[in-house]
Chains A and B, each alone.
Chain A
Amino acid sequence: MADFVARGEMPEILFWVGCAGAFDDRYKNVTRAFVQILEHVGTKYAVLGLEESCTGDPAKRAGNEFLFQMQALTNIQVLDGYGIKKIVTACPHCFNTIKNEYPALGGNYEVIHHSTFLQQLINDGKVRIAGGGAFKGKRITFHDSCYLGRANGIYEAPRDVLAALDADLVEMKRSRANGLCCGAGGAQMWKEPEPGRKDINIERTEEALALEPAIIASACPFCMTMLSDGVKNKDREQDVKVFDIAELIASAEGLNA
């Protein structure tokens, strides 16, 4: 972002990478895939790079409102310093926090989740996957992220994106507004679960595997971790893959890094 400013330019969008997108080895691949799509369609984008910091979502969900607001107010200073208006992110938690909770603290931006952004690219014809690409006819099931779905009512965008692959989309019984959480939300990602019969990600993975999909698609870094762990736990890594929708699109467009 600083480079843009040095050149006296403004990007069309700020790509908010998020901590998982920046640090999680698996999700870095999603970040790269999304950036490749941005390059491919020629969107002028920027990232904050080292100036980005946690949105404060995990702190807020864990009850640490103080730490959340520290993060939020600091981030708002940075974003406003650059005059950012439009933010795209591949993380539903960052999306929800910046979109819904930053305004009360003075940060007002147009915030778009990458599923909606990709949907627009497809609708505008900027991404056309000829004949569905490598995923044509493959059995794919989509897992709704709570913070995308119930929290913000975005159910169709990721499904529209997957529909462009011309794949065999199958729905789990618990989907859309009735979707079952992967188990990572509310800061569960960073702690051990409370005592119980089963882990939530196993329950959800079992539901997905019952459909015998080739691919479980997600649109959230935490869901991806939980479902990947679930698939591993069930010894199905060989035949069932967990991918983010951006990876599927990048791959279908032949943009593999």
Chain B
Amino acid sequence: MISNIIFLLVALAGIGLFVWQLRKIRHNIKLGRDKNIAGDTSERLNKLLLVAFGQQKMFKRPWPAVLHGVVYIGFLVINIEVLEILIDGIFGTHRALSFMGPVYSALMAVNEILAFLVIIACVIFLARRNITKVPRLTRGPEMRAWSRLDANIILVVEIVLMLALFAFNIADLKIFAQRGEELAGSFPISGLFVNIFGSEVATLETIRTTGWWIHILGILAFLNYLPSSKHFHIIMAFPNVYYSRLEPKGQFTTNESITHEIKAMLDPSYQVPALPEGTEPQKFGTKDVEDLSWKQLMDAYTCTECGRCTDVCPANITGKLLSPRKIIMDTRDRMEEKGEHPAIFQPNHYQEMGEERVKTTEGKTLLRGYVTPEELWACTTCNACVEACPVNIDQLSSIMDMRRYLVLEESAAPNALNIMFTNIENNGAPWAFSPSDRLNWADNLFLADKAVS
């Protein structure tokens, strides 16, 4: 009985702590500007099914997609067993779901096979990070010690959780076998290892209890680790994909206050609509996290630092400083520095880390304090990062918003671009050609007769 009460308290504390952390993150996301998410709900649900649940975009790289798929399906299915653990823990039952009979057997069998595959996948993932050192997972100033440690912690914890589950099943199986009883369920993997813990009943019972507790305590601890980790994507991927943009990728946002200003310039009788009571005019572009929209801040919490965006970025491929992943990770770091931060907080200050190439300033703002103009100006707006992201993060919109701040609020565009602006203003073309030459291409063309008409 006492153990049931302890379990209930621990479970409640674990879940309560998690909810408390979620509220902090919600608060942070709400630092962002309002943004109306327009568009068809059914189209959004469709995306949610394909991209989030179906992991459609992962399959651009088949091998990681298969391995990740194993861990993902394992996560979904093994959660059913967690439900059983919760019921057993609270009510002191043993394998409460076993009343389902053959369904239970099938479930346990699938669980075991998945758990085994999860271990294999995690081992391969560890090797990719630490032995073969896949470039996109290891390189770049943003892949600081914490990011690498975080990834390794996640993988090791997942392996430990699976091993604990196996320890519980194996000991349970052996105990029942020794009593000459049949354990409900089917355990194809544990069955192979049924004798590894010997046949001492006391030892077996200790292992069974320990395995059970490690599995459930591990899950509760892991749950509370999530908000501080890139692994938070297992939750955020779903809302983030649901709220992903549905417009063509080439359509950039339009700043309405500028439209009103220009209309008033072109037509003096134009009435600029008054701002709603209590709202301030929007800044032009983004200097700090609160100038980004809540969706752009949600992007930052969804990023799992896989580096697919950076890996396909033409600027990054050719050795420029720009890394779309860094922009998103910087946004998160700055948001947690400025707003609330979850239990384990690791901000990333390039200066303090002795990262010389990222020439940030002391100023504690997203722009310049984390993201440098050099990065922003290297972007070709090609949308390869947006296309590559498996969880529909829009890296480009954040880059563009910071560019806008540089140009509209600081007039800090590279000189060559200022010349281009002047050309457009004076000649209606980005090059210094006379507007009167605009039809010269038609000279010497058969169009002579047309020109006369």
Q: Do these two chains interact?
A: yes
- Closest A residue to B378 by beta carbon equals A194
- A184-236 residues with Cβ-Cβ distance < 8 A to B are 184-200, 202-204
- A249 within 8 Å of B (CB atoms): no
- Closest A residue to B250 by beta carbon equals A151
**Residue from A54, A70, A151, A191 in contact with B383 in the complex, judged by beta carbons closer than 8 Å:** A151
- A123 within 8 Å of B (CB atoms): no
A49 contacts B321, C-beta separation under 8 Å: no
**Residue from B263, B413, B441 in contact with A17 in the complex, judged by beta carbons closer than 8 Å:** B441
Q: B321-345 CB contact bits vs A (8 Å, 1 = yes)?
A: 1100000000000000000000000
- A245 within 8 Å of B (CB atoms): no
**Residue from B254, B429, B450, B453 in contact with A23 in the complex, judged by beta carbons closer than 8 Å:** B429
The complex places the Cα of A188 from the Cα of B441 at a distance, in Å, of 25
Q: A171-187 CB contact bits vs B (8 Å, 1 = yes)?
A: 00000011111011111
A200 contacts B380, C-beta separation under 8 Å: yes
- B236-287 residues with Cβ-Cβ distance < 8 A to A are 247-252, 254-255, 258-259, 261-263, 266, 284-285
**Residue from A63, A184, A186, A193 in contact with B406 in the complex, judged by beta carbons closer than 8 Å:** A63
A181 contacts B413, C-beta separation under 8 Å: no
A184 contacts B380, C-beta separation under 8 Å: yes
- Closest A residue to B436 by beta carbon equals A50
- A22 within 8 Å of B (CB atoms): yes
- A3 within 8 Å of B (CB atoms): yes
B residues less than 8 Å from A189 (CB atoms): 430
A200 contacts B315, C-beta separation under 8 Å: yes
- A158 within 8 Å of B (CB atoms): no
A58 contacts B263, C-beta separation under 8 Å: no
- Closest B residue to A92 by beta carbon equals B250
The complex places the Cα of A189 from the Cα of B417 at a distance, in Å, of 9
- A52 within 8 Å of B (CB atoms): yes
With both chains docked as a complex, state the minimum distance between the C-beta of B320 and any C-beta of chain A, in angstroms. 4
- B181 within 8 Å of A (CB atoms): no
B438 contacts A181, C-beta separation under 8 Å: no
Most chain B CB atoms below 10 A, which of A36, A63, A147: A63
- A32 within 8 Å of B (CB atoms): yes
- A12 within 8 Å of B (CB atoms): no
A residues less than 8 Å from B315 (CB atoms): 194, 196, 200
Q: How many residues of A contact B (CB 8 A)?
A: 76
- Closest A residue to B374 by beta carbon equals A194
The complex places the Cα of A204 from the Cα of B319 at a distance, in Å, of 14
With both chains docked as a complex, state the minimum distance between the C-beta of A193 and any C-beta of chain B, in angstroms. 7
- A150 within 8 Å of B (CB atoms): yes
- B82 within 8 Å of A (CB atoms): no
- B347-385 residues with Cβ-Cβ distance < 8 A to A are 374, 377-384
- B407-453 residues with Cβ-Cβ distance < 8 A to A are 407-408, 413-414, 416-417, 419-421, 424-425, 428-431, 433, 435-442, 444-447, 450, 453
Q: A16-46 CB contact bits vs B (8 Å, 1 = yes)?
A: 0101011110001001100110010000000
Most chain A CB atoms below 10 A, which of B255, B321, B381, B413: B381
- B387 within 8 Å of A (CB atoms): yes
A178 contacts B374, C-beta separation under 8 Å: no
With both chains docked as a complex, state the minimum distance between the C-beta of B440 and any C-beta of chain A, in angstroms. 8
- B36 within 8 Å of A (CB atoms): no
The complex places the Cα of A60 from the Cα of B417 at a distance, in Å, of 11
The complex places the Cα of A21 from the Cα of B437 at a distance, in Å, of 12
B residues less than 8 Å from A130 (CB atoms): none
**Residue from B249, B285, B405, B431 in contact with A150 in the complex, judged by beta carbons closer than 8 Å:** B249
B residues less than 8 Å from A196 (CB atoms): 315, 318-321, 378
- Closest A residue to B428 by beta carbon equals A53
The complex places the Cα of A147 from the Cα of B249 at a distance, in Å, of 9
The complex places the Cα of A181 from the Cα of B317 at a distance, in Å, of 11
A31 contacts B441, C-beta separation under 8 Å: yes
A69-B250 contact, Cβ under 8 Å, with A22-B439, A150-B382, A196-B320: no
A151-B249 contact, Cβ under 8 Å, with A67-B425, A186-B382: yes
With both chains docked as a complex, state the minimum distance between the C-beta of B107 and any C-beta of chain A, in angstroms. 38
B residues less than 8 Å from A100 (CB atoms): 247-248, 250-251
The complex places the Cα of A189 from the Cα of B431 at a distance, in Å, of 11
A186 contacts B314, C-beta separation under 8 Å: no
Q: Other CB < 8 Å A-B pairs besides A53-B429, A64-B404, 11 of them?
A: A24-B431, A35-B445, A59-B424, A65-B284, A65-B285, A65-B404, A100-B247, A105-B259, A151-B383, A186-B379, A257-B444
Could you give 29 example pairs across A and B, Cβ below 8 Å?
A: A3-B453, A22-B441, A23-B437, A28-B440, A35-B445, A49-B438, A50-B435, A62-B403, A65-B404, A67-B421, A73-B262, A73-B266, A96-B250, A100-B250, A105-B254, A146-B383, A146-B384, A150-B384, A150-B387, A178-B60, A178-B387, A187-B417, A190-B417, A190-B430, A192-B416, A194-B377, A196-B320, A197-B318, A200-B380
Interface positions of B (Cβ within 8 A of A): 60, 247-252, 254-255, 258-259, 261-263, 266, 284-285, 312, 314-315, 317-322, 374, 377-384, 386-387, 400, 403-408, 413-414, 416-417, 419-421, 424-425, 428-431, 433, 435-442, 444-447, 450, 453
